[in-house]
Amino acid sequence: MRKWYKLSISTTKQTTFTSTISAIVRISYQAHVWLLSPPCQPYTRQGLQKHSGDARAFSFLKILELMLQTSRPPVMLFMENVVGFETSDTHTKMIEILEKADFSRQEFILSPMQFGVPYSRPRYFCLAKRRPLSFHRLLYNNQLLWSPSPLLENDVDIETIENHGSQATSDKLLLSCEPICRFLDHSSHHSEFSFSDASSIQREGALEKTKDTDEQGSFDQYLVPSSLIDRWGSAMDIVYPDSRRCCCFTKSYYRYVKGTGSLLAPFEEEKMGKAHSLKEQKLRYFTPREVANLHSFPEDFQFPQHIGLRQCYALLGNSLSIAVVAPLLRYLFAEPP
């Protein structure tokens, strides 16, 4: 009886969900462009990789199928997901539906590092236009590109993302990025002093409030506790103000230190020397403002006063990079010459 009840509830929810999606898509609000960011869990490397067999993939596939039935389908489509989606059976089904709906497409795997931002977050993007609309560069139709070159007016050759080319290519990409200090709050504090001044500066910094800490509290709260360094120090990704790459920040950043994003040692590596322990490096979390900077959010972006610190990190975690999405959308909306 209990199993039957669960099955009935599940079926009812799915039927209601399907009906709701059907109504929305058929009405479609006559939208010209659909921007889609379906759940990524079915395709992540750390997940079960069930692809279309994962219940969380259902809504995206249903929306695509209903696109064929609506009287006013979109003329453009923009979709993003994790790297790995491009090898899934969900991707295969998406391509089949787009072709049936008479869309041409261009696909990209891009990272903010290709746009000079020292933030490693490669993502998959699909841009599609319904004929007779066409892309500015027809040469790249129905291709998966690892370079943003088609998006740039001067058509310069930008290096492919890290871990996809040779070591020389990765090194060249790294050198093309700005140093992390350009994205820090009051970054001059981190680059004008030697490590011998670190202790005094850190004490002063703990008392001084930056723009971000005025809203979020004392700078002390960004320091990594010694207990976490003792336990997880070997698993931490540590970067410096002169580093040109940091790892992706997830929604669990600040709650956990392993695999959630890079930590900052606020003084240049060569000035500190390798002899100094992790505890002596005064490790701290990037502030929410700094995480927003690395996502290329505008300078005037800020959270409402009632949003707590952990909630700020959760909202910023896994955000899309404006440095990547903006040129993609410009390219999608551009009319061919």
Torsion of CA 148, 149, 154, 157, to 10 degrees: 120
Q: Report d(CA 232, CA 216) in Å as an integer.
A: 25
Catalytic, 247? Answer: no
Owner of token pair 């060249």: 172
- Helix 58-67 to helix 2-27 angle (10° resolution) is 40
Instruction: Count the helices and strands in the chain (H runs, E runs).
Output: 12, 8
- Closest by Cα among 158, 170, 212, 189 to 323: 158
Torsion of CA 20, 24, 25, 27, to 10 degrees: 130
Q: Report d(CA 183, CA 178) in Å as an integer.
A: 9
Q: Report d(CA 206, CA 30) in Å as an integer.
A: 53
CA distances for 77 relative to 36, 196, 267, angstroms: 8, 55, 44
> Looking at 40, 126, 181, 246, which residue is catalytic?
40
Q: Where in the sequence numbering do the catalytic residues fall?
A: 40
